[in-house]
Amino acid sequence: MPRSKKESDSKKEPKNKKEPENKKEPENKKEPENKKEEKNKTKAKRMKTKAEQKTEQQEKQKTEQQKEKQSVKKLNKQASENKQTNKSKKIIKASDKEEKQEEKQIKELKKESKALLIKEKQLNEVQLEKIENEIKKQTTISEEKKNNINKKVFQNILIAILIVLYFIFINLGFLNLKPEVFLRDLQVFSMIMIVMTIIIFEKAYKHDNGEIAIYGIEALLLSISTLMTIYIGSNYVSKFTYIISFISMLFAIYYVGKSIIIYHKMMRKALKQTSDIHKIAKSRG
């Protein structure tokens, strides 16, 4: 029986011994749990730190990107501003060049206008000279035509002088000669004048010349006046000298008027001919 007690005691003792072991086990269990918690906390902290670092890195990257974007924007703005300034400078330069070109053009136009005015003045002077020369040419007559006009005028004046002298000699003969001799001389002079008129009319008819015919008419009038002197000398002795002087004055006035008319007519014809010649020359030129 004692063995059985001892055995029972021995059996009981380990039970008692096992109880503290069982008591110690939860303590040991608590320790790794705390460690785990600490590890988890450290891990969480590490994770947090890593996340924070990542977030910080991301924020830094964002800030750097924003800074880069801002710098790029600034650079773009500066570039655009530079472009605008360059454009404005170019525009200003172009405007300056245009202004200079306009000033040059204005100066050139002024020079051209001055040159044109000078040319116009010169042309006007030249035209005036040409007009004056043309007027002179049209108003002036060649020397040959002038000589022809003067010849005809002087012929008529000479005829008038000769007729006046003819009647003066008749008056002198009436005063100095005997009546019979004087009447014979008048008859002879009248016959000579009639012959002269016939010859002149024949020439005018042959040559068909109007001027010669006019001279024939004048000779006929002179021959008629000489025949009238015979009648006046026989019937109007007291008034003979007055009548003969009056007839001579009529012939002188006639020839003077005739010479003036011939001069004006011939001058007009000559001027018309010169003007027509100049017009034909201009039209051909």
Reported as a pLDDT band with limits 50, 70 and 90, residue 161 is very high
Q: Which residue has the tokens 């096992």?
A: 18
Q: Residue 13's pLDDT is what?
A: 46
pLDDT in tens, 130-140: 777 766 665 56
Q: Please list the helix, strand and coil fractions of the chain in percent, rounded to the nearest 5, in that order.
A: 95, 0, 5
* Annotated domain spans of the chain: 79-122, 156-270
pTM exceeds cut of 0.95: no
**The pLDDT of residue 267 is above 50:** yes
Contacts within 8 Å (CB) and 24+ apart, 56-62: none
Q: Residue 250's pLDDT is what?
A: 92
Q: What are phi and psi of 236, to 5 degrees?
A: -120, 70
The one-letter amino acid code at 77 reads: K
Mean pLDDT of 252-267: 89
Pick the more confident residue, 278 or 197. 197
Other Cβ atoms closer than 10 A to 254: 16
SS3 36: helix
Q: What percent of the chain has pLDDT over 90?
A: 7
**The pLDDT of residue 113 is above 50:** yes
The sign of the torsion formed by the CA atoms of 18, 20, 23, 27 equals: negative
